[in-house]
Homo-oligomer: A and B are copies of this chain.
């Protein structure tokens, strides 16, 4: 009977995913042991292998649970804005907003544990393990294509390869900002209480990314000068 969804909808499964999200974020994948993880989830050591098959499969499940929905939300916001705009092209600022807004709104929701996931995600973009990055890349691919197309339409005069690099830079800035919101204290003794004012952070980040995306094109003189 696959009616498990009615009464306890994978209660243990969910608790394991939540615990994994938090511990993976705090300590990383390798440094989080199954014993530590199942203990935090209030489950038996064997529960992970029973419900997910292996630790690697659990890692994948942690990302699939949230990332599909996140990227679907991004694409939906883009669709909605394009429908509202009718024939007019979207502004770069709107497109950026659709991309970073989803992440930053999730960071505010400390209830459902979305914050843990966002920080975990930011870390994982540059994870040394190739299969993990491959998974992330695969889950991101559809949204990436969609946003690339939107930017190309909004910035028809920008060379294709330049746009790709600027998207790369923007993506990196977002990833790092999400992953290392505590590192900013290293730059300055920043008061930690306003670290998570997501609206202010969104305004700051959007202003930075927007300006970077629309930066004047470097000319070959710059390249020669840098040599």
Copies in the complex: 2
Residue A84 lies at the interface, judged by CB distance under 8 Å to chain B: no
Residue A208 lies at the interface, judged by CB distance under 8 Å to chain B: yes
What interface size band does chain A fall in? 35 or more
> Quick one: which of B28, B183, B207 contacts A218, CB cutoff 8 A?
B207
Chain B residues whose CB sits within 8 angstroms of the CB of A226 once the complex forms: 97, 101, 199, 202-203, 206
Q: Report the minimal beta-carbon distance from A14 to chain B, rounded to whole angstroms.
A: 23
- Interface pair B169/A205, CB less than 8 Å apart: yes
Cα–Cα distance between A90 and B83 once the two chains are bound (Å)? 47
Residue A13 lies at the interface, judged by CB distance under 8 Å to chain B: no
Which residue of A122, A209, A226 has the most chain B CB atoms within 10 A of its CB atom? Answer: A226
Per-residue 0/1 for A177-190: is the Cβ within 8 Å of any B Cβ (1 yes, 0 no)? 10110011011101
- Interface pair A176/B165, CB less than 8 Å apart: no
What are the 7 tightest A-B residue pairs by CB atom distance, in nearest-first order?
Answer: A172-B176, A211-B215, A28-B128, A30-B30, A212-B212, A203-B218, A137-B186
A interface, CB within 8 angstroms of B: 24-28, 30-31, 97, 101, 122-123, 125-129, 133, 137, 140-141, 144, 148, 160-162, 164-169, 171-173, 175-177, 179-180, 183-184, 186-188, 190, 199-218, 222-223, 226-227
| Contact sample, A vs B, 7 pairs, CB 8 Å cutoff | A26-B128, A126-B126, A126-B175, A169-B176, A172-B173, A203-B226, A207-B217
